[in-house]
Structures are given as C-alpha cells and as structure tokens.
Amino acid sequence: MPSSVTLCVRTAININKTSPRARLFARTFASSSRRNEINKVVASPEEACRDMKSDSTLLCGGFGLCGVPDTLINTVEKMPHLTGLTAVSNNAGVPGLGLGKLLASKQIKKMIASYVGENKVFEQMYLNGEIELELTPQGTLAERCRAGGAGVPAFYTPAAFGTVVQTGELPLLHNSDGSVKQYSQPRDVKVFKGKSYVMEVAIDGDYAFVKAWKADKLGNAMFRFAAANFNGAMGRNAKTTIVEAEHIVEPGEIDPAAVHLPGIYVTKVIQSTAEKGIEKVVNAKSPEEQKAGALGSGETANKRERIVRRAAKEFKNGMYANLGIGMPMLAPTFVDPSVDVQLQSENGILGLGPYPQKGHEDPDLINAGKETVTLRPGAACFGSDESFGMIRSGRIDLTILGAMQVSAKGDLANWALPSRIKGMGGAMDLVSQPDKTKVVVTMEHTDKKGRPKILNQCQFPLTGRSCVSLIITELAVFEVDFTNGLTLIEHAEGVTVDDIKAKTEAPFTVSENLKVMQQ
C-alpha cells in the first residue's frame, strides 16, 4: 500500500500534467466561492410544494403551535388535489391552526401522533371513523423519526411495555357508530439485561416540513429555543425536506457550531411568512395567585395544596426533575429556596424557568403543557429526540405525574378514559425506567363520584406497569413495592387509618413508623 507521502506526490504530478484551467478548478473546488453557487432557496412555497403527490407520508415539525411550519401547511391547504396524506407530528395543532387545517380540509387520511389534546375536531374525527390514528408514545415517535433518518430500520425501547401499545389493543380506526374497525399490531418484545423492551419500526418520510429560525442557501438550518422540538429529527428523515425559515442568510452567517440541521438533509428553503402562534399564554403571578389558579377554591384548594406541599418534600438539591401539568407544576412553589432543582421539559428544555411577565411571552418558549415559560440562566435547549434520550436512559432523577388510577403493585393509568382519547404524550417514556427515575403520583384519593382511585388493578388503559414508587393524596402517602404492594407511611392530620381504608380498594400494610403527613 502506498504511503500518504507517495499519494501526495502522485497527486501533485497528476495535477501538473493537466491544463491550467483544470488546475485552477482543482485548487478552487473546496473554496467558498464555488460552494456558494449552491442555492436551495426557492422563490415561493407554491413552487417548493409543486411536486408533492397524494398518498404520501408527510413529517411535520412542531409541538403544540411552537415551531410549526405554518407557511407550508397553509400552502398544502390551498392544493385540494393533494389527498390521502399520512401526517406524522406530535399533535395536529388546534382547529384552524397548524395541521388542524389539513384535518378540516380532509386531506389527511391518517395521523401518527402522540397527543390529541384539546383538538376536539381531531378527537371527533377519530372516534367517528373519519380518520385513522396511530397513537405513539412521544419519545418513541421522536426516535422512530430519528431512526428513519439514520438508516436504522427498527429499535427496542422500554417505553409502553405492558400497555395496549405493546399488546396491539390500541384502536387505529373506528366505524361511524364508534365501534372499533381496526386495532394496532402487537409489538415484538425482547429482554436485555433482565428488562423487557418493545420493538418499534422506524418511520420513513416522503416529505418533511421544517420550521427554522435561520437557514442559508446551502440548506443549513438553525432552530430557536423550544422550536427545535421535532424539526431536526424529521428534517433528517424525508426524501424531500423543505425548510421554511424566518431569516434566510448567506453561507457563513450561521456559526458552524450553531447549525442544528446540516444542509445535506435539506432539499429546499423558503421564506416563512406565517405568524407564529401561542396555544396557552400564561403569565407570571404572585405565589398566592398561582396557587389559586392551579388549586381551585374552598375545600378542593385545601386538599390540593396539602398534596402539592407534600410533593415538594421529594425535591433534593441537585436533582433533575420532570413535572406533569396541573398540580405537579405547582410543586416548585413550595420548595425551600436552599434546594436547587433543574426542571426538564420533554419538548426540549433543561433549566425551565417561571412563567413570563405580561408582554414578554415568546412563542418559541413553551413547556410540555404548551404554556409560555422562561429559561433559567444556564438553560439548554435541544430536540425532542435528545430530550427523550435523557428520559429513557434514566438521567431524570424524579418525575411527578397526575393519575386517574394506580394499582396495588404500582401500575399507572393516566392517559385515557372510555370514549375520550387525549393521547399518552411523553408519560409512557417518563415512567419507563422506575429503577433510575423515581415516579411520584399526586392525585385526589377518590374520583368525583367518591370511588377509590387506588385499586387492586387499574381499569383504564395503562401508562406503565410497576412504575410508581410513591403515591401522595390529600389523605395519605403510600410507598409502593412492586412485589409486596402498598405501605402507608403518612396520614393527613385528623385522618385515621380506618378513614383511609374506607376509601382505598387496594390492601395495604401500615408502617411501624407511621407519621402525620409532612407539610
């Protein structure tokens, strides 16, 4: 084999044998003057979408209304001949915004998403059999898109083991009368190092719509804050990736270290013209106002404050924590100032700050509940695929979630009710590593009809099996052993063990060190 020196000499000799013009070409090929001749900028979104075909798979970035490529979506809405689309997105926007427009125009035949949320039109279309819906855990969705772009056909994940996602009992399509017409396929399961994992197949996209803050003529793109979400993973995946950018700049104007989506993945770039939306504007409040808004009033507020105050005791200095919406989000309000906790939001933020002051809302800064937020000093923002990598690998020390039901052995149900579908979002991922991430449930002890929510077995579809370590209600605190069941370790002041037994279906033992609930 010739040495590197020999190869260099041969190259020099060969160049010297060529014409002066060829030698000039060789010298300038790698220079910026020639690379700048590449120009992926297209004059209009109509031109960028001209070659799109019906019955294609469209990957669409965005989370809620944050980082959504609305200019491109609006363009497709005006192309009624494009039908039968399979749209892949975390959610489908809201009625009249985001992918909600393509649902209304009946151009989407199937959605692959993790969350239906507050989109009543989407929910009713699904339940009435007008659209097929493949609900997928949020982290699995992000990884399926990332894997498709990385040439990985399938992978194993701990998320959703033991749930209807794994067993193939998730309704994909309904009849017009609401009965189930088609169920999902069961997933293969394998055991690695004593733990069960579910096999998921990568998603392959025909087209990807990506929203960027900046993009240059070479296609290099940069995202802003939480608008990164699914945009990077989806932009790397499709055969044709179209980026709409708020600012189109010259090559070199984006720092190489700040390129989040390299131009090799991008086919076309257009100017973004659609106004950015905010789904839930939430502003900073005084502690008293914040409590009143989240806790309600009267006896309900008293019960919930008792739960949240106790949950705040679970925070330890230096923790990384992820909080569900509702009561869990209020827990940091009651944390001692000496305790420093980094809050992670699964849509791509580490170092989540408080709600913004009125007038300082930023559409590129939202939390997992689609609410406006701020960043703490030292915060980091990243894509959803990396966010869930942190979660699945057990980097999150603590997650606090609400629940509809919890079983005696720590099974959790918190995402679906009969005849109502909201989607699991990121919850199945958050509870997938209970040996590394402590899962704490905060909930009222009984439902609105007075029925127990701590049961022998959950009656609603599961979020995860044997995953809850601690249950906090307004009456009691239970430790959960996945083999031996529940142990009552604290009771609310004025509440007896018999009071708790009367409202708890699952059996439990009483700790020898039973205490009054910490506040």
Number of CB atoms found within 10 A of residue 309's CB: 17
Residues 380, 382: Cα–Cα separation, whole Å: 7
Contacts of 465 (CB under 8 A, 6+ apart): 161, 162, 163, 410, 411
String of DSSP letters for 217-264: TT--EE--GGGGTTHHHHHTT-SEEEEEEEEEE-TTSS-GGG-SB-GG
Quick one: tokens of 387? 């966010």
Of the candidates 360, 341, 339, which has an alpha carbon nearest to the alpha carbon of residue 350? 341
Please state at what angle helix 138-149 crosses helix 384-392, rounded to 10 degrees: 120
Q: Are 231 and 381 in contact (CB under 8 A)?
A: no
Residue 346 catalytic?
Answer: yes
The encoded tokens of residue 480 equal: 């959960």
State the Cα angle at 164 between 162 and 168, rounded to 5°. Answer: 110
Taking the C-alpha atoms of residue 344 and residue 347, their distance in angstroms, rounded to an integer, is: 9
Per annotation, catalytic residue among 143, 346, 371, 386: 346
Spatial distance between the Cα atoms of 264 and 283, rounded to a whole number of angstroms: 40
Q: What is the C-alpha separation between 315 and 326, in angstroms, rounded?
A: 17
Q: In b/e form, how buried is each residue of 88-103, taking b as 16+ CB within 10 angstroms?
A: bbbbbbbeebbbbbbb
- How is residue 150 written in tokens? 């990385």
Q: Is the sign of the CA dihedral 451, 473, 505, 433 positive or negative? A: positive
Ramachandran region, residue 20 (left: φ > 0; alpha: ψ -120 to 50; beta: rest): alpha
Give kind and range of the element (H or E) at residue 154: strand 154-157
Q: In what order do the strands lie in the sheet with 154-157?
A: 154-157, 195-201, 189-192
Q: Residue with structure tokens 């330890």?
A: 316
The answer for 77, left when phi > 0, alpha when psi is -120 to 50, beta otherwise, is alpha
Active site residues: 346
